[in-house]
Amino acid sequence: MRSRTLSAPFPWLLTSLLLSGCALSPGVDREAEPTLDPDAFETRIDQLEQQLVMRCDRTNARLDEQSQRQETLLAEFRDAGATLRHLRADIERLEQRSEGPEVIAAECNEQLAENLSNKAMVGRAEWIGLPNVGTYLRARVDSGANTSSLSATDITRFERDGEDWVRFKLGLNEDDVVVEDVRDEWIERPIERRVRILQAAGSESRPVVSLLMTLGPIREPVEFTLNDRTHLNYPVLLGRRFLMDIALIDVAEDYLHPRPEFPGGRPAAEAAQDEINDRDEEEG
- DSSP per position, 110-125: HHHHHHHHTSEEEESE
Is 120-283 CATH 2.40.70.10?
A: yes
Smallest Cα–Cα separation from 226: which of 199, 197, 202?
197
**What CA–CA distance (Å, rounded) separates 62 from 117?**
60
Report d(CA 207, CA 188) in Å as an integer: 12
- Strand duo 135-141 + 120-123: pairing: unpaired
Length of the chain: 284
3-state secondary structure 172-190: CCCCCCCCHHHCCCCEEEE
Domain ranges of the chain: 120-283
**284 residues of the chain, pLDDT tens digit each:** 444 444 445 555 555 545 555 444 455 555 555 666 787 888 888 888 888 888 888 888 888 888 777 777 777 777 777 777 777 777 877 776 666 555 555 555 565 555 566 789 999 999 999 999 999 999 999 988 999 999 999 999 999 999 999 999 999 999 899 999 999 999 999 999 999 887 667 778 899 999 999 999 999 999 999 999 999 999 999 999 888 878 899 989 999 999 999 999 999 998 988 887 665 555 44
**Which of helix, strand or coil describes residue 165?**
strand
Q: How far is CA 208 from CA 5, 82, 101, 174, 212, in A?
A: 113, 11, 38, 25, 13
